[in-house]
Amino acid sequence: MQSFRYLNNVTTLQLDVEKCIGCGMCEIVCPHTVFKVENPKARIADRDACMECGACAANCPTAAISVTPGVGCASYIIQTWIKGKDAIIECC
Amino acid sequence: MQNLFVNKHDADAGNTACCSSKDQGKDSVPVLQPLDLPIGVPADDDAPCCGPKPGPPSSPYDKPGYRMWHFVADFVETPVGAIPEIETNLKLRDLAGTVRTRLGISRDRYRVAPGLYSVGKPGSDSPVLVTANYKLSFDSLRQELASIDAWILVLDTHGINVWCAAGKKTFSSEEVIRQVHRVGLDRVVSHRKLILPQLGAPGVSAQAVKKGCGFKVTWGPIRARDLQKFITNGGKAETKMRQLTFSIGERIVLIPVELSLIVKPSLVILLAVFVLSGISPDIFSFSAAWFRGLNGAAAYLFGVLAGAVFVPILLPWLPMRQFYIKGILAGLVAGIFVSLSLGGNITRLESLTLLLITTAVSSYAAMNFTGATPFTSPSGVEKEMRQGIPIQIIAVSTAIIAWVAAPFVS
């Protein structure tokens, strides 16, 4: 996926290294190789490759990762603008 | 009249198993279950009563109100009942279904029933693969399992693929736990492991699944075609198996669905184009509505073509990362083509207006393709929309005013 890069400096991804236990789960679930686990902890190796899918945060056993997950889809976002964030939205 | 479905000799013998009540207590409830009865095959000397010989009898696994899928080859008996054994080769009708679905026809109803399936000859130590109940997902999984003995646990993702369902939280920890309990998986397999597709990870927490049903989640590869190697490697995925791709083929198959989503609004827009085109110094001109309308429609349709077809195909080669800009660039080229093609038949103002329409439509359509890609973050899409949408609105408003004003100016 190195051939496809999206906008830089937009992701909401945060890693709290203090909480990390280095289990490597984030490295496994990330489809864009954002994390690298080097003894003993994870680090964000490629922040701008993050697409905010939320897989890492959902599977981090110590809640060391936070990200605002969502659907990166224009028509979905337009509907959230119109109907509000909590509305039931048909999309994709 | 000969009974076509009960062999004559069986009937004469006063057959016992099915209809006789000798062995059954009065209170026993008849239970529908597979019986090894000698039913079905008409004897050789049976004269056909009408037409050729009848086909084979119903399967003992047939149920009233259900229709058996063609991919069910057989059933295996397990402690939780009969589990369908499915075929791993796709048939013509699977491919026809794939084509139909890729065109956006009945896409939301292309699904299989959630629950447990088997492939090959699995035993209590065979792996359990989890997938979505979108039939395209189900097909892409089973066609890769030709030499694997495994159980397949299909979640109820409401007919949505794994990745989108994980985003919508129908491919979720709760659903995994629910299906494990519902099918009684702990009685089918002796181990406590599930292999989930990696793209399900946004919706499923491995810890939550372990806590909820005692099964340990192993994250399998992204693509089903890597499963064989993954299983042979003892549940280890190479880095490549964990990375998304978005090849030209993967992009092209998405185009028809994108277009099918545009059809409905397009009909309304085209109607508006024809009506606006008819406004003239004589209040309304039907010939102008038609001839100028055709020009306007061409500009619109080329905008759709540029944004929803050319941008996806040319994605990595178009400059800039913002999709709305990629759309503007593709739209400018398409718009110049439209203007040049119409050449001397239209005024310079109309020509520029059509270019503006094609570009704005292309920009919007391209921006919408963000939803189909596997690498755009919502924060990024929102950011580019805050830039792109005002530009598109200004362009379209200007174009409408100029298009309506053109007959009055010339």
Secondary structure (DSSP) of B44-74 = TTPPPSSSS---PPPPTT--TT----TTEEE
Mean pLDDT of B66-89: 96
* Per-residue pLDDT tens over the stretch B261-309: 999 999 999 999 999 999 988 899 999 899 999 999 999 999 999 999 9
B308 secondary structure, DSSP code: I
**A72: which chain B residues are within 8 Å (Cβ-Cβ)?**
370-371, 373, 376-378, 380-381
Question: Would you place residue B43 in the very low, low, confident or very high pLDDT band (cuts 50, 70, 90)?
Answer: low
Residues in contact with B287: Cβ distance below 8 Å, sequence separation at least 6, in sequence order: none
Q: How far apart are CA B129 and CA B332, in angstroms?
A: 48
- Say yes or no for a CB contact (<8 Å) between A92 and B371: yes
* Per-residue pLDDT tens over the stretch B80-120: 999 999 999 999 999 999 999 999 998 889 999 999 999 99
- Whether B375 and chain A come into contact, CB under 8 Å, resolves to yes
* Per-residue pLDDT tens over the stretch A39-92: 889 999 999 999 999 999 999 999 999 999 877 778 888 888 888 766 665 554
pTM more than 0.80: yes
- Name residue B128's beta-bridge partners: B151
**B205: which chain A residues are within 8 Å (Cβ-Cβ)?**
58-59
Measured between CB atoms, which of B205, B219, B389 is closest to A28?
Answer: B219
Domain spans of chain B?
1-68, 72-244, 249-409
Q: What percent of chain B has pLDDT over 70?
A: 88
Residues 162-181 of B with CB under 8 A from A: 164, 166-167
Q: Is the pLDDT of residue B12 over 60?
A: no
Question: Would you place residue A32 in the very low, low, confident or very high pLDDT band (cuts 50, 70, 90)?
Answer: very high
Question: What's the token pair of residue B71?
Answer: 């991919």
CATH topology of domain B72-244: Rossmann fold (3.40.50)
CATH topology of domain A14-83: Alpha-Beta Plaits (3.30.70)
Residues in contact with A50: Cβ distance below 8 Å, sequence separation at least 6, in sequence order: A11, A13, A32, A34, A67, B377
pLDDT at residue number B16 = 37
CB-side exposure of B90: number of CA atoms within 13 Å? 18
Question: What's the token pair of residue B201?
Answer: 């990870």
Q: How far apart are CA B369 and CA B347, in angstroms?
A: 33
Q: Is the pLDDT of residue A2 over 70?
A: no
In order of B43, B119, B222, the CA distances from B233 in angstroms are 53, 20, 15
Measured over the CA atoms of residue B188, residue B192, residue B195 and residue B198, the dihedral's sign is positive
Question: Would you place residue B47 in the very low, low, confident or very high pLDDT band (cuts 50, 70, 90)?
Answer: low
Structural Rg of chain B based on CA atoms: 30
B165: closest chain A residue by CA: A92
- Whether B363 and chain A come into contact, CB under 8 Å, resolves to no
Q: Is the pLDDT of residue B379 over 90?
A: yes
Residues 236-275 of B with CB under 8 A from A: 237, 239, 242-246
* Per-residue pLDDT tens over the stretch B13-33: 333 334 333 344 444 444 445
Domain spans of chain A?
14-83
Residues 304-323 of B with CB under 8 A from A: 315-316, 321-323
Contacts 24+ apart (CB under 8 A), B165-170: B165/B132, B165/B134, B165/B200, B165/B203, B166/A53, B166/A55, B166/B199, B166/B200, B166/B201, B166/B202, B166/B203, B166/B204, B167/A53, B167/A69, B167/A71, B167/B202, B167/B203, B168/B203, B169/B203, B170/B203
Q: How far apart are CA B255 and CA B315, in angstroms?
A: 12
CB A65 within 8 A of CB A52: no
How much is the ipTM here?
0.91
Instruction: Annotate B78-143 with three-state secondary structure.
Output: ECCEEEEEECCCCCHHHHHHHHHHHCCCCHHHCECCCEEEEECCCCCCCCEEEECCEHHHHHHHHC
**A10: which chain B residues are within 8 Å (Cβ-Cβ)?**
377, 379-380, 383
Q: Is the pLDDT of residue B8 over 70?
A: no
